[in-house]
Structure 1
């Protein structure tokens, strides 16, 4: 490089170091254009997007600002800390754009949450950093001495990668004794030169001429390049070939196959013989041109020799020479325009994607940002983008070649947990090319479904006398959500059962929903419980639902029958009196028994186990009635002893026995003589009245005591209940009192219509029994009436006696 070029380069470098500001050509919303010179040092400032786009540092960092380029170049970088664009690597305008002007870098600044897209255009300004140069160091011409004045000789054009004023502007030829330089312009404005003969050549005077052709650009200062021209003067041939056209134009599609004839050039030579024979060839062209096209040296046909690509090179310029045997030649220029065909499919690039998205996303939520480009031009490069209309999404065009995929409907993960969204891009070429790209979009769950039980009410059964901790029932709820939103826990709702908290009777496993009995149950105390179990998911906020469980206590045969009548006493003996005139079926008495169990466990049957005379009496299997089965005779013993067994229907069954004394006689003396010992104590008869009065006083005292106890118990329970509600504490265990044997619900063995009365005397300490007279019953009637409060003494109209 000459000293002038070196000085120019240094001055440009100094100018670049002093360039501390940028020219903002155009600022619109989301679109900024900058201009910078090429060859700026790495790290140099390009622009301040904080000021130009109205953003701030926090937004850049929170939005994960980044640069997206369609071609993947990284000439410009983003400094997030300062909010500036800087030169990322050296930019050579000639390497980037070649002869295309203006030369621009196009990229996008993308931010997330919410998504934003800002287009940045950076125009690369040319500096005069390239000098014109020639492809070859020298050019050689063989010119006949008969060449006439005005003969033209095409010279190889110099090249300058710069553009505008910095590119090639003029040529200078020296010396100019025989030739002058003719400057010409092509239709596109580029300069080329022709060498024109202005003084006839004389081979005998000078056989060889050496010239220098210098090319200058328009820089300040200008740069130049030169080539040596060697001219050899030929003798004889005095007519040069002449092309039919000085400029040929032709168009060829980029998909033209190798060997396709695109043009035929022709030239004529007035000479005859060998001097008129022409040879066609390419002038000193670039290797690219010679590899892309071929010329037939005899016919002048130009054919395609390589693969054309409109997207890379749109036109070619070729110089064709026609040379005769004498060395004379003419030059013509061929301009080949390559036309575009639709040979490129659209390219879909996903530059940002939110995956997964929550199912409660609002319509028009941006899911992805797409860049779709087609390297073809005009209609061949115009692209339409769409997706299936059946999907709850749509495509929106945000700017040129950029699209947004947004939601278009309500999403439901439980219905469709994921979508395969196929994006189809098709150009408008003929035939059209298309590209598909599929996005697998997952829908994330939100807690929008509460746990659900299969039924709102459930029944469970548990046998009484169960072991604490026994499993009663397992409840199960389902939740359509997923993850923690579907993780279900079970809880027992706090409620009052028989005056106590439900947790005192039952517990629920939080994980499995299994209901466990906390204590043992007694059917005779409580027959059923109603509890509520809540199922709650793990969402935020949590959702829940309830199920009501009715727990029925099943009865066990854990109570034996209890005989209410006849009453069994310790010392006295009650006997039923049967006259000897009694007929068959005479009702002697009725055994009355109850069973506090229920169902078949309370079904009682009566059987005669033992009897003094089995042929005289029978017992009703269902009703317990003792009747005669034959006529009573005088031979029958006065004293009859029957043993009756009462059995329930449980498995295994339980039983109770009762002894019934029957006196077969027509008069009291007869009975008395049978039931009285031969030695009677006179002292006992004298004191009988005293014992009767004493017994009446004792019974009255017991009656009053029972009333006081009952009232005290009720007052105690009432006070305990008030203390429980005030303190919210656990209730004390309610003491168990034997149930009354009145069948209120109609499930027992006694009917309310029956009413029996028994009358007894005080027990005597003597070892014998005395038959009392019928008139004494009235004296003890008051005593018997007071004993009715016990509620279990039956009575009947059959005569009865008390034996002491």
Structure 2
């Protein structure tokens, strides 16, 4: 486009804009402009028809339309007044923010209607679709409830759920998953309300992991989720308890030193923290003498000898001990400890014990991973003759005494396991040699120390979880839990994700809550395999792993896409019915029904249809290039998802010519037309012309003229130009040429595979007079398709011949003049057509004008009128 043309176009646009603004101003002062109300759903694809602002019938002056309001989201057809969407989506939430919107969401437009220069206000109502998911302010919620909270307690969460849509699309209902009857949620309300449905018990279940969902009422409904964790807090609702075997029997020598720890009792409380503190005391039934003889530690439960046994002391002491929880009104738990005092034999027996293993507070500390055969202590009997047999260990114990060089070695006989049994009271007994009722005893306390010999374990190695794409960042995915049989830090578990895990996912190291921190897109990636590691805090740390298979579920978030925005096909006009015109390539990145696309024609009256099974455009009716040389179609691709998404494209089918029209002879009009040629005509002079046209195109319309003999050999002095149809005098006329010459002319096109023909008789009468020529009969070699005019070619007087000469000269002059005007008209037409095509190209018009159709009606004059 040259600079002058650009300047003219910009100047014209500026004038139109100024005129529109001036007219809009004048209209506003004079009267209110008419208003047209239209509506459109948000997020529609490009090319969707919204409505028409056309106000006038098609008759009368040509009406044009122009938007005065600049908005790239809509397009106005300047000829029809139809309003369409563009590639820039209309977003109701962006146009009308919720905090500023009180009524319907409007897009105000103004349009100028010519030629009356009328301004129309367009009130475009943007209708809402369910394209926004309810969202919570946080990614997870944690509640702390006492385990004695009453059933039916309502907990209103200080939580706002937002949905930018309106109406039913923005109204949410709440749903709770994983409550197991302990919790439920009220479905309606401005904020979620959680209701306690069953009595809680921290000792049975300390944490409750649930999923709180907000579901809008759109079609289809969209869901936002948040993880809800209820931490049950302890109350002092459990009483202390001794193990079932609550009776303890111990035997001590009468000469046991003061301060010796005789035994230790232990009661448990299922509560936590201060609620588990147990206080030990003697029952009031224990005598004052026994309370003075034995000391009970109220905190640890250790019973020590606080005084020496007297000779007159009883040999058995029954101690009833209470375990009480001072913070609760529970009755105390009771256990009995029987202490048997062994008399000192006449011959002093001494069993000395020497510890080899680590000792703490007179207790052997033994690691659970010590190998079998580990030496713990050495027992030496100073007077072997004082015992009846070698010492032995009472009960089934994982220990054994081995005699080595006159001494007894205490060694482990089986592997130890802290998780199975944490402490042992090993009693070594030897019977007195003189009195079998007297036993010499040695008590050894052994505490098993925990080692990190158990790795955390998940209850299954593979987990499956589904999540819809376009999720809210930070949404809860699932809760993973691993258990560790070890104690203290050896049993504390921390969670992490494998090094190959994408940053899209994260896990809480303490709780094992797996969440999605960014938006997932199924079309980018549909499946994720995450490695979750559970690692304890032992030394060395142990870990195990599980796999979480995440499947991203599809949403209908992709519109169908054509391979191109405009399809162009070419078919011949003899195209068979139900033939395949061409393939319409369309795809949809979604899956399932969301990606199932059907294509339909918007032009219901066209001779074409879509075969969605094959994706092919088919021709359903005959087409004729001479009637319509191309067909402009609009097609729509629509998926089957919810909400439905669609896109439009244009299809242009050009009809190619076939040679189905024979040439039409325009001049002469009939087979009886006749011209008079003077004998003085100079050789090379054009005396007549045969003119024919062909309604086909291309080679099928190129015409060739030829004179063919009919009956006898043609001896006519006239020849015809094969391209132009001009008949000229070939050589000087002689006397024998002064007669009527009848030429049989064939007009053939250049069509393929078979040219078509037309024929016409050309009658030339060589006569000195220019009088009118008449032909009444035709040679017998051709049937007469035209009516025969009356008259003859003979019997004329000289005056009539002279008049004929004048008529011939006048006709020849008129023919030449007509040819000049015809040539000028053709040139003008070609120049205007060229200029029109250039203008269309410069204005980026996508319509392509192909002049393939000939005019049916020809206004031609016969030879006598022309020549």
TM-score range, shorter chain: 0.5 to 0.7
Give 3-state SS (helix, strand or coil) of 1:509's partner.
Answer: strand
State how far apart, in whole Å, the 1-side matches of 2:349 and 2:242 are.
Answer: 45
Task: After TM superposition, list the pairs within 5 Å mapping 1:276-675 onto structure 2.
Answer: 279-283=390-394, 287=395, 290-296=396-402, 299-321=407-429, 325-326=433-434, 330-348=440-458, 355-387=465-497, 388=499, 390-397=501-508, 401-464=510-573, 471-493=580-602, 502-509=603-610, 511-512=612-613, 514-517=616-619, 519-568=621-670, 574-577=674-677, 579=679, 583=683, 585=684, 587-610=686-709, 613-617=713-717, 618-627=719-728, 632-636=733-737, 638-650=739-751, 651-664=753-766, 667-668=768-769
The equivalent position to 1:126 in structure 2, one of 214, 239, 254, is: 239
Report the CA distance shift for 1:773/1:265 in structure 2 as closer, same or farther (over 3 A). Answer: same
Give 3-state SS (helix, strand or coil) of 2:480's partner.
Answer: strand
* Residue 606 (structure 1) shift: 1.9
Task: After TM superposition, list the pairs within 5 Å mapping 1:174-193 onto structure 2.
Answer: 182-183=293-294, 188-191=300-303
Moved more, 433-442 or 301-310: 301-310
Contact preservation (8 Å) 1:314, 1:338: yes
Q: Give the CA RMSD over aligned residues.
A: 5.3
Report the CA distance shift for 1:253/1:659 in structure 2 as closer, same or farther (over 3 A). Answer: same
State how far apart, in whole Å, the 2-side matches of 1:48 and 1:556 are.
Answer: 91
Report the CA distance shift for 1:770/1:503 in structure 2 as closer, same or farther (over 3 A). Answer: farther
- CA deviations 1:525-557 (Å, max 9, x no partner) are 332232222222233333222222222122222
- Using the size of structure 1 for normalisation, the TM-score is 0.62
* Residue 640 (structure 1) shift: 2.8
* Residue 32 (structure 1) shift: 3.5
- CA deviations 1:404-462 (Å, max 9, x no partner) are 21212221110101211211222333332111111111112222221111112221123
- Count of residues in Structure 1 that have an aligned counterpart in Structure 2: 613
Q: Does 1:259 align with 2:373?
A: yes
The equivalent position to 2:143 in structure 1, one of 30, 36, 57, is: 30
* Residue 282 (structure 1) shift: 2.7
Moved more, 348-357 or 650-659: 348-357
Task: After TM superposition, list the pairs within 5 Å mapping 1:104-183 onto structure 2.
Answer: 106-108=206-208, 110-113=210-213, 114-122=226-234, 125-126=238-239, 134=247, 169=282, 182-183=293-294
State how far apart, in whole Å, the 1-side matches of 2:776 and 2:591 are.
Answer: 91
State how far apart, in whole Å, the 2-side matches of 1:364 and 1:224 are.
Answer: 54
Q: Which residue of 2 aligns with 1:792?
A: 860
State how far apart, in whole Å, the 1-side matches of 2:292 and 2:692 are.
Answer: 148
Contact preservation (8 Å) 1:171, 1:214: no
Contact preservation (8 Å) 2:399, 2:411: yes
Moved more, 545-554 or 634-643: 634-643
Which is greater in Rg?
1
Contact preservation (8 Å) 2:595, 2:640: yes
State how far apart, in whole Å, the 2-side matches of 1:218 and 1:282 are.
Answer: 30
Report the CA distance shift for 1:350/1:769 in structure 2 as closer, same or farther (over 3 A). Answer: farther
- The runs of 5 or more residues in structure 2 that have no matched partner are 1-140, 159-171, 187-194, 214-225, 270-276, 325-330, 778-787, 819-856
* Residue 135 (structure 1) shift: 6.8
- The runs of 5 or more residues in structure 1 that have no matched partner are 1-27, 35-45, 68-75, 92-102, 202-208, 494-501, 678-761
Give 3-state SS (helix, strand or coil) of 1:480's partner.
Answer: coil
* Residue 366 (structure 1) shift: 1.0
* Residue 586 (structure 1) shift: 5.5
State how far apart, in whole Å, the 2-side matches of 1:275 and 1:674 are.
Answer: 173
Contact preservation (8 Å) 1:445, 1:482: yes
Contact preservation (8 Å) 1:248, 1:333: no
Report the CA distance shift for 1:322/1:188 in structure 2 as closer, same or farther (over 3 A). Answer: farther
* Residue 672 (structure 1) shift: 11
Contact preservation (8 Å) 2:458, 2:481: yes
Give 3-state SS (helix, strand or coil) of 1:63's partner.
Answer: strand
Q: Which residue of 2 aligns with 1:496?
A: none
Q: Which residue of 2 aligns with 1:726?
A: none
State how far apart, in whole Å, the 1-side matches of 2:151 and 2:462 are.
Answer: 21
Report the CA distance shift for 1:532/1:84 in structure 2 as closer, same or farther (over 3 A). Answer: closer
Q: Which residue of 1 aligns with 2:97?
A: none
Contact preservation (8 Å) 2:775, 2:790: no
- CA deviations 1:567-615 (Å, max 9, x no partner) are 3255xx61442627855x5544332222122111111122221155535
* Residue 480 (structure 1) shift: 0.7
* Residue 195 (structure 1) shift: 11
Q: Which residue of 2 aligns with 1:22?
A: none
Task: After TM superposition, list the pairs within 5 Å mapping 1:737-752 onto structure 2.
Answer: none
Report the CA distance shift for 1:326/1:151 in structure 2 as closer, same or farther (over 3 A). Answer: farther
Contact preservation (8 Å) 2:431, 2:440: yes
State how far apart, in whole Å, the 1-side matches of 2:551 and 2:671 are.
Answer: 87
State how far apart, in whole Å, the 1-side matches of 2:773 and 2:635 are.
Answer: 73
Give 3-state SS (helix, strand or coil) of 1:266's partner.
Answer: strand
State how far apart, in whole Å, the 2-side matches of 1:766 and 1:305 are.
Answer: 150
Q: Which residue of 1 aligns with 2:801?
A: 773
Give 3-state SS (helix, strand or coil) of 1:256's partner.
Answer: coil
State how far apart, in whole Å, the 2-side matches of 1:574 and 1:427 are.
Answer: 118
Report the CA distance shift for 1:111/1:48 in structure 2 as closer, same or farther (over 3 A). Answer: farther
- Using the size of structure 2 for normalisation, the TM-score is 0.58
- CA deviations 1:207-266 (Å, max 9, x no partner) are xx99685655468799676879798x99863555455699843222111222222x2133
- CA deviations 1:316-355 (Å, max 9, x no partner) are 2323346664567654432222222221112346999994
- CA deviations 1:265-305 (Å, max 9, x no partner) are 33453x5x72389833335xxx4xx3322223563322222
Task: After TM superposition, list the pairs within 5 Å mapping 1:43-58 onto structure 2.
Answer: 47-48=149-150, 50-51=152-153
Report the CA distance shift for 1:183/1:293 in structure 2 as closer, same or farther (over 3 A). Answer: same
